[in-house]
Chains A and B, each alone.
Chain A
Amino acid sequence: MSPQFVDFNHDGKLDIVAGTFDGSPHVAYGTDQGFKQPEQILDHKGERIVLNQFWNFDSKKWDSTKRSDAAGNTLPNGHCTSAIAFDWDQDGDLDLLLGDHDSGHLYRRVNEGTSTEPRFALVNVPVLADGKALHVAGTVTTPLLVDWDRDGLLDLVCGGMGDAYSEATGGGVYLYRNTGKLGAPTFAAAVTLIEPSGKGHVGGPLRPDSGLYMDVADVDTDGDLDLVVGGYSHWKPKPRELTAEEKAKVAALQAELAKVNAASQATMQTVTDAVKGLDEAAAATKRGELLAAKRPELSALGKQRQSLTEELDPLVSTPQRVSYVWVYTNTTVASAPAKGQ
């Protein structure tokens, strides 16, 4: 999720709007004493706002619906995991933009009510860029609105998720300039602000490689817009020549790690075997009981695994994946000619 500080209910206090992995937008209302706990933003029928995929809190399963698809929609199923409020049509109330984690599109949900009495429509309208459904390579982390080119219209910046778990291409950050007018935004084709990462760095963390969540501000107050970007860095420590003693140590640690992994798997297998043949509800209950009973054992094995891995990592150049927040300082302003000034 990516938080947006915005006065969603127009009471003069900032609220926090965010989409979460459950598939819906939420708002934490601000009061004079602080924020309340978040609640879901609902459509005018009182139903959850979703794209297609969502976590069903009643059945406790992932679910999918087509009820919010606009007529004639041909885009693949979407999963809303990010949301920002934006008065798209300049009618005085805040509409929603919903980012799609599954297939990389962006949708808007129109507020047909007023700033204090919102009435969200029942369908999602795809946002276009260059006349086509906007599509973010590597799927959307979050959208953001900022007047990047200082023409008085809010432009759109989208982060890309990319492959956050292995070595496939990571995420980038993209700018879509608003070439429309106030109340009728039109977005141009994407301009790449940060190239998607090809990963494969050896040595140490070089950049956010995947899951790029960004915000924009003139951080260094030099007159241009900088980026702060959260994300996972993927790298491999530089391998080095091992001494005979170190090689023996690696072999011993790896053998020990294999034993720990085998013990974990064997424990999990006893749980799987014990619930075999039971119906779904009974199996879930039994599995929960058995796992609770075996938690101390599994936890001890987990600690052993962590400790062995920490000893092994500096010796064998295990791929690393750690999240950080980075700043990208914009160096344009010093060299760029001023427009109309």
Chain B
Amino acid sequence: MQTRSLTFVAAAGSALFVSAITAQSPASATHAFAAPVRLMAGKQFLGEKRLFPSPVFHDVNGDGHRDLVVGDLRGHLTVALRVPEGGALAFAAETKLQDVDGKDIDFHNW
């Protein structure tokens, strides 16, 4: 089976994770998140004003860096390519993901 999720596992190969075994509760032992930060794509906020933006990581251009693909309620997809020299969270402006014929990918909808 090939899934995107497994790619993450490989990417997180050096993770030192602790689960429910310590004296702490499982919740506090497995995660603690810093206050969230909005991601940028180029000079705009990533996914801004999209209808229900759904981000997923995928190396779209095969450069070894995880890009972000953002879906939406309408069934359209955009790609924000990682800009590796800009740091872990630097992404270029979003472009629409297109099909083999250069048309926007359009997941059927109501």
Residues of chain A having any CB pair with chain B under 8 Å: 1-7, 14, 16, 18, 20-22, 24, 26, 28, 31, 33-38, 40, 55, 62, 85-87, 92, 94, 141-142, 144-151, 154, 164, 175, 177, 191-194, 205-208, 211, 213-221, 223-232, 322-333, 335-339, 341
Residues of B within 8 A of A333 (CB): 15-17
Tally inter-chain residue pairs, CB-CB below 8 A. Answer: 245
Known: A191-B30, A230-B54, A325-B38. A147 touches B9 (CB 8 A): yes
Tell me if B's interface is mostly helix, strand, loop or mixed: loop
Pair B15/A324 contact, Cβ less than 8 Å: no
| Chain A: minimal CB distance from B19 (Å) | 4
Q: Which range holds the interface residue count of chain B? A: 35 or more
Task: Give the distance to chain B from A249, nearest Cβ to Cβ, in Å.
Answer: 27
Q: Is B81 an interface residue (CB 8 A)?
A: no
- Return chain A residues, CB-CB under 8 Å to B54: 1-3, 141-142, 213, 230
Chain B residues lying within 8 Å of A87, measured Cβ to Cβ, are 1
Listed residue (B18, B22, B97) with the most chain A CB atoms within 10 angstroms of its CB: B18
Minimal beta-carbon separation of B106 from chain A (angstroms): 7
Give CA–CA (A149, B15) in the complex, Å. 10
Q: Chain B interface (Cβ within 8 Å of chain A)? A: 1-5, 8-9, 11-12, 14-19, 21-22, 26-27, 29-39, 45-58, 66, 68-73, 75, 77, 88-89, 97-100, 103, 105-110
Q: Are B16 and A338 in contact (CB under 8 A)?
A: yes
Contact of B5 with A326 in the complex, beta carbons under 8 Å: no
| Chain A residue at smallest Cβ distance from B29 | A336
